[in-house]
Structures are given as structure tokens and as C-alpha cells.
């Protein structure tokens, strides 16, 4: 597991994240829920001041969960599925450790938690990225 900062520890131990984990455990097998969550994540990520690198990795993460929800990709360990869904639920919730309604600092906890998740499941993301590249249909040069 990735190294945690005091902010991450505070988030992971918060009532908000524990509730997100419970909801993730109940909902991670529901494709309709996952696809709706992806829509909310993309909408939320377009609102905030998210740095480019986080935006790119969030795009990879949403493609991963979409492929999982559609049954196209099942190489993701269940623990990573639930953790990812919990983080995404937390991300789309405006009420959390640092409320998103606060200008400028509102997304600080969300970004910190996303960066922590990217580090925690980096091997899973790398495996998915390889799988995703292999799915691309080669263009016939003729």
C-alpha cells in the first residue's frame, strides 16, 4: 500500500470515506451504478481545478471502471474495485473532509485521495493500460 500523509489518514478514517466504502461494497457489482458513477466523476472533474496529470489518470481510471462495469475487463482484484469505487464516490460527493463548495481548497482532499489511489493501485492501472492498448484495432495501411 502506498505511503500515506496525515491528510490521507484523516480522509481514510473519516465518516465520509467509511460511508463511501460501505456504498462501494454494496454497489461495485452493479454495472448501472458504476456507469452512472463514471458520468458523475467526469462531470465533477470538469468543474474543479484538477491538474493535468491527475486529469489524465482519472480518465484512465474511469475507462477502467467502465470496462469493468461492461464485463470487458475483469483482471482487476476485487479489493481494488471496491477501493476505487469508494474513492470515486468520495470524489463526487460535495460534502467530505474539506467541502468542495469552498473555493480553491475544496478539491484538495479529493485530489490527495486520487493521487493516493493512483499510487496504491498503480500495478492494476499499468496492467489495464497494457490491456487497453492491445484492444485497439490496428489500422490497415492499405
Closest C-alpha among 39, 112, 48, 100 to residue 69: 39
Q: Does the pLDDT value for residue 141 go beyond 80?
A: no
Largest CA distance in the chain: 58
Predicted local confidence at residue 130, as pLDDT: 94
The proportion of the chain whose per-residue pLDDT surpasses 90, expressed as a percent, equals: 48
- What pLDDT, on a 0 to 100 scale, did the predictor assign at position 136? 75
* pLDDT band (50, 70, 90) for residue 1: very low
Distances 58 to 14, 42, 74, 139, 142 between C-alpha atoms, Å: 22, 9, 19, 27, 36
pLDDT of residue 112: 86
Give per-residue pLDDT as tens, 17-51: 999 999 999 999 999 999 999 888 887 776 655 67
Q: What is the mean pLDDT of residues 136-141?
A: 60
Across the chain, what does the average pLDDT equal?
A: 84
Cα–Cα distance measured from residue 12 to residue 14, given in angstroms and rounded to the nearest whole number: 6
Percentage of the chain surpassing pLDDT 70?
82
pLDDT digits (tens, 9 = 90+) for 39-87: 888 877 766 556 778 888 999 999 999 999 999 999 999 999 999 999 9
Amino acid at each position: 500500500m502506498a505511503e500515506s500523509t496525515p491528510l490521507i489518514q484523516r480522509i481514510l478514517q473519516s465518516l465520509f470515506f467509511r460511508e463511501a466504502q460501505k456504498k462501494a461494497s454494496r454497489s461495485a457489482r452493479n454495472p448501472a451504478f458504476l456507469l452512472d458513477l463514471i458520468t458523475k466523476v467526469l462531470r465533477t472533474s470538469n468543474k474543479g481545478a484538477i491538474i493535468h496529470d491527475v486529469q489524465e489518470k482519472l480518465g484512465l481510471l474511469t475507462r477502467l471502471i467502465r470496462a469493468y462495469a461492461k464485463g470487458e475487463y475483469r483482471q482487476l482484484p476485487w479489493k481494488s474495485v471496491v477501493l476505487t469505487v469508494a474513492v470515486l464516490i468520495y470524489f463526487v460527493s460535495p460534502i467530505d473532509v474539506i467541502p468542495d463548495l469552498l473555493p480553491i481548497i475544496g478539491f484538495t482532499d479529493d485530489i490527495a485521495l486520487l493521487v493516493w489511489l493512483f499510487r496504491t493501485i498503480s500495478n492494476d492501472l499499468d496492467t489495464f493500460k497494457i490491456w487497453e492498448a492491445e484492444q485497439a484495432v490496428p489500422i490497415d495501411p492499405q
